[in-house]
Structure 1
């Protein structure tokens, strides 16, 4: 069945409008398709994906189907890698691009993963300073200032390295989408579309973490992100994580 064969509500015209808008303005990187549950967001994205596949690189990621996996960054990167790899082929050059993307993605995962234990958590503190907080007494408390200084310097250096890792990942992502554009659209100037569906149906923590991890890559040249959500429902997820005071 071809794209839009079952389109009875003129949604193809909406997809055409959005595509023209996205490709006519480089400043527009992200679009949120806001609609309540059951109103056809997945139908719209699935048919738009089929239309785009004719001459554009495109990745479809169903967040709800993957929210059991733990870290959303891994699932999304796997979708990008697997789907674009199929679209660009497997020449020596293309295999090298995919490998570099995978390698940088692995480094970026560790660089940007949420910190499970804060700096002053006992385990981290002991690892950095060699001081067991539970066993500290007045005689060794003077070690605290020195250990804190060491810890802060360590965090600063780690942050610098993390920034370099993320920048490296952005470069390899750009190379991958550029190759997809060259193969699919015969034009490196045409964008690759990353469609993220069912975000509002995910576990609150998963949905928010996915947005927090992906937002750093919204500015990657050659990428256009389409996120389909019930924004009201997603707001409930945000409140579940950050508090009910958010509006």
Structure 2
């Protein structure tokens, strides 16, 4: 993840047909921090062999109505300009008895869409 990702939520935006107002609670600074933090946890040229590849899992946990969807949708939209991003909403996409199939289906469809957008198909 490049360190030049700039998070600016000073303007409202529509994402997937939903309206997200400007960031009046100054949450963009947290997205900026997490973007930089995750960039520092990524691929590391200074390491040897398989140690170059590094993974990191981030969990966002908060009460219902605290703005998790707002935060993740806006952040994902900004990151899409630099990286492939998959957003899985377990509440809206719970159409299968197998949760793994929901995740895989979301990954395939969203990555295909992002790839095709880059190729201008």
* TM-score, normalized by the shorter chain, greater than 0.5: yes
Higher fraction of strand: 1
For normalisation by structure 1, the TM-score amounts to: 0.34
Question: Which of 39, 56, 62 is the matching residue for 1:29?
Answer: 56
Distance 1:56 1:17, change over 3 A: same
Question: Which of 2, 25, 39 is the matching residue for 2:13?
Answer: 2
Tell me if 1:52 matches 2:79: yes
Higher fraction of helix: 1
Distance 1:28 1:5, change over 3 A: farther
Match of residue 77 from structure 1: 104
Question: Which of 32, 46, 54 is the matching residue for 1:16?
Answer: 32
- Whether the 8 Å CA contact 2:95–2:102 is kept in 1: the answer is no
Report which structure shows greater RCO (CA 8 Å, sep ≥6): 1
Where in structure 2 are the equivalents of 1:181-220 lying within 5 Å? Answer: none
Give the C-alpha shift of residue 2 in structure 1: 3.1
Give the C-alpha shift of residue 22 in structure 1: 0.5
Give the C-alpha shift of residue 28 in structure 1: 5.1
Query: What RMSD in Å do the two structures reach over aligned CA positions?
Result: 2.2
- Whether the 8 Å CA contact 1:52–1:58 is kept in 2: the answer is yes
Give the C-alpha shift of residue 86 in structure 1: 1.1
Number of paired residues?
A: 91
What do the CA deviations read for 1:84-110 (whole angstroms, capped 9, x no partner)?
A: 0111129xxxxxxxxxxxxxxxxxxxx
Give the C-alpha shift of residue 68 in structure 1: 4.1
Q: Structure 1, unaligned stretches of length 5 or more?
A: 91-182, 184-247
- Whether the 8 Å CA contact 1:66–1:72 is kept in 2: the answer is no
Task: Please identify runs of 4+ aligned residues in structure 1 that moved more than 2 A.
Answer: 1-5
What do the CA deviations read for 1:94-143 (whole angstroms, capped 9, x no partner)?
A: xxxxxxxxxxxxxxxxxxxxxxxxxxxxxxxxxxxxxxxxxxxxxxxxxx
How far apart, CA to CA, are the structure 2 residues paired with 1:85 and 1:68?
20
Larger Rg: 1
